[in-house]
Each structure stands twice: as C-alpha cells, then as structure tokens.
C-alpha cells in the first residue's frame, strides 16, 4: 500500500532510518526466546543442541549445564535428530514523536551433533503517535487458512491495512521483549512503568493513549478490571458508574469476573447497586452467594 497521508509518509521515511537489530539484541533473543535442550543416548553420551558439544555423563539428569558453552539445558527425550522452533522477539523504541514497536521473527534450527542455527528477521513494525493513531508496516504473508504468520522473507516492509479481521495478525504477543526500551513522554504520563502483563504491546499502548477510563484503572492499580475490560472493551460502558464508586472508596477488585457478575445480580434483584455497602463487600464470594 502506497503512503497517502502526511502521517503515512513520515512513518515510511522514518522506517528506513531505523537502525537494524543490533548484535546485543540478537544474542538476547537467541538466549531467551527458546528453551535450550540436550540429548542423552543409552551409553551416557550427552549432546548439547546449542553449541554441538558432546560429553559423557551417566547420571540421569533432567537439567544440566553444558561444560563447553555454560548454557542451562533441559533434557529432550524424543528420538528426533532435528527440530525447528519459531518465536517473536519485540524491541520497543521511539523515532522523533512516534512510538515504534518492532516485532522480529526468530527462527531456531537444531540438529544433533551440530551448533544451533539461528535466523532473525523483522516482520512487523507498529507506529503510533501521541493520540494513539496507528499505522502498520509488515512483510507480505503467504495465503494460509491455518497460519497467520507465514511471512515471505524475501518481501520488504510496507504499509498494510488494518481492520477487525487483520488486528489479530498484527497484534502480536511476543515471547520476549527486549528490556532496554524507549517510550514517548505521553505513555510515561499515562502511568506506563514497563510491565505488559502478557498483553500485546501495541494494544496496551493504544489503550493507554486513547481511553482515559482505562488509564484511570491502570493508575489506580485495578489491574484485574483493566485486563478484563481490555479483553471485553464493550463492558466498561455498562459498569463504569459502579467502578467509579469503588475508586472513590479505595476498593480494589481482585476478581473482576466474580465482581461483575455480582453487580449484575444486584441490579437484577433490584438492590441498591450504587450503595458502597453492597458494592464494596469485604468478601465478594460470600456476598455473591448471598445475592444468588
């Protein structure tokens, strides 16, 4: 897709100026994206699948450390001589006033008796301005009904359309996020402190930048409610009046699913759902059983 707006042109030009993945980032991805294995045969010969080193150890260990490369290894019991693993690695950085989330596909190929062969390529870039306006650049994908991430490695990063059907393709939950990250000042202002709680970084950032109610929940430490409404965004409109009462009384909701069901039953039984006596019980399970 050709860039048409001023925002798209700035993003495409900025993408070309981003630094390639560094050697330090590659080493971090190779080390932390995968579980590292070793094999043992019946004679006690051990084979490190990371560096290819072979040594003898007749003890029946499930975990060990390679005497050559020092990698912590886990026993792999299958008889397969080769294996291929793929994971996503994420680098979070900035370019001028834009937040940039870069997703890399990391390919690991293992063969008994040989060093592991790693390969890394940038598959998706998510660009976001301070208002939460998002544009996505990615590689081309192969047509498949089973896999969303069948990236064509020979293609180049280009602007792609985003809609309801494509969000699940580009909203990637990476296996590892590089710990050295840069964020725009607006995210720091809105409470971001470095933790993603196993949420896709692009969805997490866009939520903090575009929804002030979710920002309030995040800053108030109502993480259970935050995660629930992030999963089902339509629910926040229905329950926001009752959530505000809890916030005014410093009531922390630890089980969002149970508490929301409890509120529904208060309304259904025509009890005063806006009364903190009912809305902020000391024991939600007992209050839920009582209303039921």
Domains of the chain: total: 2
287 sits in which H/E element: helix 284-291
Does one domain contain both 190 and 51? yes
256 neighbors 224 (Cβ within 8 angstroms)? yes
Helix, strand and coil percent figures for the chain, each rounded to 5: 35, 25, 40
Last residue of a domain, one of 210, 228, 257: 210
Which tens digits make up the pLDDT trace of 116-161?
Answer: 999 999 999 999 999 999 999 999 887 776 777 788 888 999 998 8
Last residue of a domain, one of 170, 186, 210: 210
Please, which pLDDT band fits residue 168 given cuts at 50, 70 and 90?
low
Q: How many C-beta atoms surround the C-beta of residue 71 within 10 A?
A: 18
Residue 60 placed within a domain: yes
**Residue 227: exposure state from Cβ atoms within 10 A (0-12, 13-18, ≥19):** middle
Residue 1 placed within a domain: no
Does one domain contain both 174 and 244? no
Does one domain contain both 117 and 221? no
Which tens digits make up the pLDDT trace of 176-221?
Answer: 999 999 999 999 999 998 888 888 999 999 999 999 999 999 999 8
Last residue of a domain, one of 166, 192, 210: 210
Q: How many C-beta atoms surround the C-beta of residue 191 within 10 A?
A: 14
If you compute the radius of gyration of the chain from its CA atoms, what whole number of angstroms results? 24
Does one domain contain both 31 and 104? yes
Residue 32 placed within a domain: yes
Does one domain contain both 189 and 285? no
Q: How far apart are CA 258 and CA 250, in angstroms?
A: 18
Residue 138 placed within a domain: yes
Domain of residue 258: give its range: 211-292
């Amino acid at each position: 897709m050709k860039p048409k707006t001023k925002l798209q042109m700035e993003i495409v030009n900025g993408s070309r100026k981003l630094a390639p993945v560094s050697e330090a980032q590659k080493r971090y991805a190779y080390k932390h994206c995968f579980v590292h294995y070793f094999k043992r045969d019946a004679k006690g010969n051990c084979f490190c699948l990371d560096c290819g080193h072979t040594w003898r150890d007749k003890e029946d260990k499930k975990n060990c450390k390679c005497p050559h490369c020092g990698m912590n290894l886990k026993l792999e019991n299958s008889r397969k001589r080769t294996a291929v693993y793929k994971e996503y690695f994420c680098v979070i950085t900035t370019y001028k006033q834009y937040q940039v989330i870069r997703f890399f596909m990391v390919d690991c190929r293992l063969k008994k008796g040989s060093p592991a062969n790693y390969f890394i390529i940038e598959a998706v870039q998510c660009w976001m301005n301070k208002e939460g306006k998002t544009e996505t650049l990615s590689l081309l994908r192969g047509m498949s009904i089973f896999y969303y991430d069948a990236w064509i490695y020979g293609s180049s990063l280009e602007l792609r359309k985003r809609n309801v059907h494509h969000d699940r393709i580009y909203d990637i939950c990476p296996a590892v996020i590089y710990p050295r990250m840069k964020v725009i000042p607006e995210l720091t202002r809105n409470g971001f402190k470095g933790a993603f709680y196993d949420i896709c970084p692009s969805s997490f950032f866009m939520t903090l930048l575009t929804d002030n109610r979710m920002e309030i929940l995040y800053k108030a430490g109502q993480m259970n409610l935050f995660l629930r409404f992030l999963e089902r965004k339509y629910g926040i409109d229905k329950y926001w009046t009752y959530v505000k009462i809890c916030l005014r009384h410093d009531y922390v909701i630890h089980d969002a699913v149970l508490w929301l069901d409890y509120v529904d039953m208060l309304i259904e039984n025509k009890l005063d759902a806006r009364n903190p006596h009912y809305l902020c019980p000391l024991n939600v399970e007992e209050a839920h059983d009582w209303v039921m």
